[in-house]
């Protein structure tokens, strides 16, 4: 059979921060798949453990000694069997024995190897013949919080979201222009701005939270007018990193201000109204499902998205669904480990009308698989930055998918907006 796994080779490589990570090759009788693992900086507390004790070296040893012999001879077409074998070998609930990133790379490389064994692209293999919808690109333009060093906005990400384009290529073009305009505006605004960028390729500038809103609002409006379609924008507050548990307040250092939960809610509702925000991610810390629900109820025409809140975890999402905590969810496969786990979470989300946002991590490689996963799993948004090599790898892969699909390709419709 063509998809039988013959070999699994793992090696140490680097992500865009220069941190060590894992890459895996899976070789089947007639195919080949390769994947490498990303890493988060502002991680959710309930993510799986990335590496066993001993880090990448130990993970490589475990892949070679424990996992590769178990997978040899299995059929890569049966993803669930591969993924459950990974869980069995690990034997813990959070993958701390083999490491979530070991599970992630093997799971992804396996899917790629299966697709390749059948002469299909990954999105076709996983999504079937009706996977023809391209996601809207949600792109980081200004970085703050834990993604910046020195003085910067407290809000972690200011994100452009063109959602009226007819093609992915046009939407990606809009994002590139918005990013450039913002760079020009920041240069005019601050004499000390020197063009510095974060790991995700977003600008880092010594400006306040509100100044950043003004800059992105203007850039999105101008580009929207020039290109003649809607360019919305939003934020990732990454509020867990602002939350001071002892004081029960969110600390906005750049403003010299602390906000309790009620004030945070009011602040965000004002911002959503004033700037017509299309998207707000992690507005409250990761255990505050109730405040998420409050915001979701009150915010008009806005995606309220859980990242650290859900960590791509089906159980946490089910809790969120019960409480009506959000209307969108970030999908980061390496938060939960395997493709099967992530697919289960996506299914729950879509069943309950949540907008699924396939996402990169701040530390990432040129691995482009999430481009295929977004199309295969019908995620209407992909969050993957605008410039910087690891981001462009994914954007360009989506351009290729669109090109490949020809006139069967269409853009996702963000109904809530």
- Positions marked active-site: 200, 332
Binding string, 247-286, against ligand PGA, x = CB under 6 A?
----------------------------------------
Least separation in angstroms between residue 159's CB and ligand PGA is 9
| Min separation Cβ 367 and ligand PGA, Å | 14
Q: Which C-beta is closer to ligand PGA: that of 40 or that of 234? A: 40
Residue in 195, 202, 193 with CA at minimum distance from that of residue 144:
202
Among positions 211, 236, 286, 402, the unique one binding ligand PGA when judged by CB under 6 A: 236
Contact 365, 313 (CB under 8 A): no
Decide whether 40 or 337 has the Cβ nearer to Zn ion. 40
**Least distance in angstroms from the C-beta of 358 to ligand PGA:** 12
Mention every residue, 6+ apart, whose C-beta is less than 8 A from residue 190: 205, 206, 207
Residue of 15, 28, 37, 43 interacting with ligand PGA (CB under 6 A): 43
| Residue 40: contacted member of ligand PGA, Zn ion, none (CB under 5 to 8 Å, by partner type) | ligand PGA
Query: How many residues belong to the site for ligand PGA (CB under 6 A)?
Result: 9
Burial per residue of 43-62, b for 16 or more beta-carbon CB atoms within 10 angstroms, e otherwise: bbebbbbbbbeeebeebbeb
And the tokens for 245?
């548990």
CB under 8 Å to 166, separation ≥6 — which residues? 229, 411
Our CA dihedral for 82, 381, 36, 57, rounded to 10 degrees, sits at -90
Please state the closest distance from residue 309 (CB atom) to ligand PGA, in A. 11
Which residue lies nearer to Zn ion by CB, 15 or 75? 15
CB of residue 211 vs ligand PGA: minimum separation in angstroms? 22
Smallest distance, ligand PGA to C-beta of residue 390, A = 11
* Nearest residue (CB) to Zn ion, 241 versus 338: 241
CA distance 367 to 371: 9
Both structure tokens of 54? 């001993």
CB 159 within 8 A of CB 236: yes
Tokens standing for residue 84: 């459950």
In the block, tokens 């009706």 appear at 130
- Looking up tokens 């698989």 gives 369
Site string for ligand PGA, 281-310 (x = CB under 6 A): --------------------------x---
Q: Which residue has the tokens 């998918």?
A: 401
Provide the mask over 351-370, with x wherever binding to ligand PGA is found by CB under 6 A and - wherever it is not: ----------xx--------
Q: Give residues in contact with Zn ion (CB under 5 A).
A: 236, 281, 307
Q: Of the listed pieces 16-24, 37-45, 103-111, 266-274, which binds ligand PGA according to CB under 6 A?
A: 37-45
Angstrom distance (rounded) from CA 254 to CA 269: 20
Give the count of beta carbons closer than 10 Å to the beta carbon of residue 66: 14
Query: Is-contact 316 349, C-beta < 8 A?
Result: no
Distance, CA of 116 to CA of 3 (rounded, Å): 9
Instruction: Tell me: does residue 40 bind ligand PGA (CB under 6 A).
Output: yes
For residues 338 and 83, the answer to whether their CB atoms sit within 8 Å is: yes
> Which option in ligand PGA, Zn ion, none does residue 362 bind, with CB closer than 5 to 8 A by kind?
ligand PGA
Q: How far is the CB of 328 from Zn ion (least distance, A)?
A: 11
Q: Which is nearer to Zn ion, 237 or 272 (CB)?
A: 237
Applying CB under 6 A, the span of 36-44, 82-90, 117-125, 127-135 interacting with ligand PGA comes to 36-44
Determine the interface stretch with ligand PGA among 11-19, 38-46, 100-108, 401-409 (rule: CB under 6 A): 38-46
374 CB-contact burial (10 Å; exposed 0-12 / middle 13-18 / buried 19+): buried
Rounded Cα distance between 52 and 48, Å, is 11
43 interface partner picked from Zn ion, ligand PGA, none, CB below 5 to 8 A per type: ligand PGA
* β-pairing verdict for 381-383 and 249-252: unpaired
Q: Within a 10 A sphere around the Cβ of 367, how many other Cβ atoms?
A: 25
Candidates 40-48, 207-215, 225-233, 283-291; binding stretch for ligand PGA (CB under 6 A): 40-48
Residues of this chain that interact with ligand PGA (CB under 6 A) are: 40-43, 236, 238, 307, 361-362
């Amino acid at each position: 059979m063509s998809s039988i796994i013959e070999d699994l080779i793992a090696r140490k490589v680097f992500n865009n921060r220069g941190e060590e990570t894992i890459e895996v090759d899976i070789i089947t009788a007639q195919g080949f798949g390769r994947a490498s693992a990303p890493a988060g900086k502002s991680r959710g507390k309930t993510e799986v453990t990335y590496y066993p004790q001993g880090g990448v070296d130990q993970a490589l040893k475990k892949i070679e000694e424990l996992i590769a012999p178990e997978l040899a001879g299995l059929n890569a077409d049966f993803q669930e069997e591969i993924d459950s074998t990974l869980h069995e070998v690990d034997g813990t609930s959070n993958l701390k024995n083999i490491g979530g990133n070991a599970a992630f790379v093997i799971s992804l490389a396996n899917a790629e190897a299966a697709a390749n064994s059948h002469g299909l692209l990954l999105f076709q293999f996983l999504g079937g013949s009706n996977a023809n919808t391209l996601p809207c690109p949600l792109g980081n333009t200004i970085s703050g919080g834990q993604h910046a060093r020195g003085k910067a906005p407290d809000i972690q990400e200011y994100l452009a979201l063109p959602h009226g384009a007819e093609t992915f290529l046009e939407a990606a073009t809009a994002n590139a222009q918005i990013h450039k305009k913002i760079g020009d505006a920041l240069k005019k605004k601050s004499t000390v701005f020197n063009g510095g960028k974060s790991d995700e390729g977003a600008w880092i500038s010594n400006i306040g939270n509100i100044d950043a809103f003004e800059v992105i609002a203007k850039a999105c409006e101008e580009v929207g007018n020039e290109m003649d379609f809607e360019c919305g924008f939003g934020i990732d507050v990454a509020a867990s990193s602002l939350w001071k548990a002892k004081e029960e307040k969110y600390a906005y250092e750049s403003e010299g201000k602390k906000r309790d939960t009620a004030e945070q809610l009011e602040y965000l509702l004002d911002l959503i109204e004033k700037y017509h925000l299309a998207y707000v991610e992690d507005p409250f810390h990761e255990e505050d499902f109730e405040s998420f629900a409050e915001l979701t109820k009150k915010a008009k025409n806005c995606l309220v998205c859980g990242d650290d809140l859900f960590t791509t975890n089906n159980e946490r999402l089910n809790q969120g669904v019960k409480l009506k905590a959000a209307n969108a969810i970030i999908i980061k496969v390496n938060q939960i480990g395997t493709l099967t786990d992530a697919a289960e979470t996506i299914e729950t989300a879509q069943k309950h009308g949540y907008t699924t946002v396939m996402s990169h991590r701040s530390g990432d490689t040129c691995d482009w698989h999430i481009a295929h996963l977004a199309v295969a799993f019908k995620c209407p948004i992909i969050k993957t930055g605008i410039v910087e090599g690891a981001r462009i790898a994914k954007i360009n892969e989506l351009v290729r998918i669109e090109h490949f699909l020809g006139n069967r390709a269409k853009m996702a419709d963000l109904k809530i907006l």
